[in-house]
Amino acid sequence: MFAETIEQPNPSPRPGRLPKWEIRGSDFGLFAAMLFACMALASALFGQFATWLLAPEEGGDPPLLAALAANLGMQFGMLAAFLGFLKILDTQGNTSPRPDKAPIPQAISIGFKWLLIAYPVMIAVNLISRASLNQLGFEQVIQDPILMVQQGGSWFETAIMYAMISLVAPICEEAAFRGGVFRYLHHRLPLFASLGLSAFFFAILHANLYSFAPLMTIGVMLALAYRESGSLLSCIVFHSAFNTINLVLILFVPDLT
């Protein structure tokens, strides 16, 4: 007598750490509007306040601290928009499943893992992109943050600059672009499209043609780190380490930048 074979149902695949963000398209439109409005408003307010406080000579160049304040305002505007949008969702009773965050040590290691993967790829993309743009006759324009670092300033200005590059920008930009833009696009578009589109907006933010392709590469890798860990900590660690490495290179090996 043969034992009866009992068919076991196939277990459903384990959902990824980053489940679909169950919000409407109109909600995401609100987030995008809040993001741009908060960035513009906070940048203008911070810059104007610093200019008023420093009272530069009429007709002279704006002081470095005013430019830093405007940049800080833009960064804080991103974070304010992201946190404000999450608060709005909470008040609406949004029940979207939360990301299954990796434990902190694992999230940190995932961030460093993707940094190690991304850096050689980014260097190759940067070399190809720069050679192509030079061949097409474009003139390289150095990004404002690089110029600020190279020109330097007082110890106070320098401290703010370094903190903005290594800490503030990674936190604020990752909240907006990975925590907001990529999380919404993920599961709604094919993976390559959600990676590419969120990275495109991230690269556009920096407004520099020569850095566009390398930053798109980094944006894709940051999103992959977030997708693997479900934690923005991975992206922040990756982004912070990446910016810090570049800061050190600008200071000590300027010919490479």
pLDDT at 2 over 70: no
Q: Summarize the confidence of residues 238-244 as an average pLDDT.
A: 97
Q: Summarize the confidence of residues 180-185 as an average pLDDT.
A: 97
Q: Are 39 and 81 in contact (CB under 8 A)?
A: yes
In this structure, what are the phi and psi dihedrals at residue 135, rounded to the nearest 5 degrees? -65, -35
Q: Give the pLDDT band of residue 62 (cuts 50, 70, 90).
A: low
Q: Which pLDDT score is estimated for 63?
A: 79
Alpha helices in 164-208 (DSSP H): 169-176, 183-185, 191-205
In order, the DSSP letters of 49-112 are HHHHHH-PPTTSPPPHHHHHHHHHHHHHHHHHHHHHHHHHHHHTT--PPPP-PPPHHHHHHHHH
pLDDT at 134 over 70: yes
Encoded amino acid at 218, one letter: I
In this structure, what are the phi and psi dihedrals at residue 226, rounded to the nearest 5 degrees? -65, -40
Angstrom distances, CA of residue 241 to CA of 7, 26, 115: 51, 35, 8
Q: Which pLDDT score is estimated for 61?
A: 62
Q: What is the mean pLDDT of the chain?
A: 90
pLDDT at 60 over 90: no
In this structure, what are the phi and psi dihedrals at residue 186, rounded to the nearest 5 degrees? -60, 135
SS3 category, 28 = helix
Angstrom distances, CA of residue 9 to CA of 3, 5, 14, 15, 16: 18, 13, 15, 17, 21
Q: Summarize the confidence of residues 198-218 as an average pLDDT.
A: 95
pLDDT at 96 over 70: yes
Q: Which pLDDT score is estimated for 33?
A: 98
Q: Are 193 and 184 in contact (CB under 8 A)?
A: no
Q: Which pLDDT score is estimated for 57?
A: 66
pLDDT at 4 over 70: no
pLDDT at 246 over 90: yes
- Residue of 152 and 5 predicted with greater confidence: 152
pTM: 0.89
Residue count (the chain): 257
Q: How far is CA 217 from the centre of its chain?
A: 12
Tens of pLDDT, residues 10-40: 444 445 789 999 999 999 999 999 999 999 9
